[in-house]
Amino acid sequence: MLDAASKTFFHLVAQSRTLKKMASRYGMRRPASFARRFIAGETVEEAIAAARAASARGVLITLDLLGESVTNLDEATTATRECPDVERNLSLKLTQLGLDVDKATAIDNIRKILERAEPAGFFVRIDMEGSAYTDVTLEIFETLWRHGYRQIGVVLQAALYRTEERDLARVNALGARIRLVKGAYREPKSIAHQQKADVDAAYARMMRTLITDGHYAALATHDPRMIELARQWALEHGVASDRFEFQMLFGVRRDLQAMLVRAGYRVRVYIPFGREWFPYFMRRLGERPANAFFILRSIFGESG
Please state the length of the chain: 304
Q: Residue 54, SS3?
A: helix
Cα 20 to Cα 279: distance, rounded to the nearest angstrom: 8
Cα 140 to Cα 94: distance, rounded to the nearest angstrom: 9
Cα 154 to Cα 137: distance, rounded to the nearest angstrom: 9
Cα 83 to Cα 85: distance, rounded to the nearest angstrom: 5
CB 141 within 8 A of CB 126: yes
Q: Which residues are catalytic?
A: 127, 179
* The CA-based dihedral angle spanning residues 33, 35, 37, 41, taken in that order and rounded to the nearest 10 degrees: -100
State which amino acid sits at residue 157: Q
CB 217 within 8 A of CB 210: yes
Q: How far is CA 228 from CA 182, 200, 233, 250, in A?
A: 17, 13, 8, 21
3-state SS string over 67-105?
CCCCCCHHHHHHHHHHHHHHCCCEEECHHHHCCCCCHHH
What 21-24 contacts at long range (C-beta under 8 Å, 24+ apart), as own/partner pairs, is 22/299, 22/300, 22/303, 23/277, 23/278, 23/281, 23/299, 23/300, 24/275, 24/278
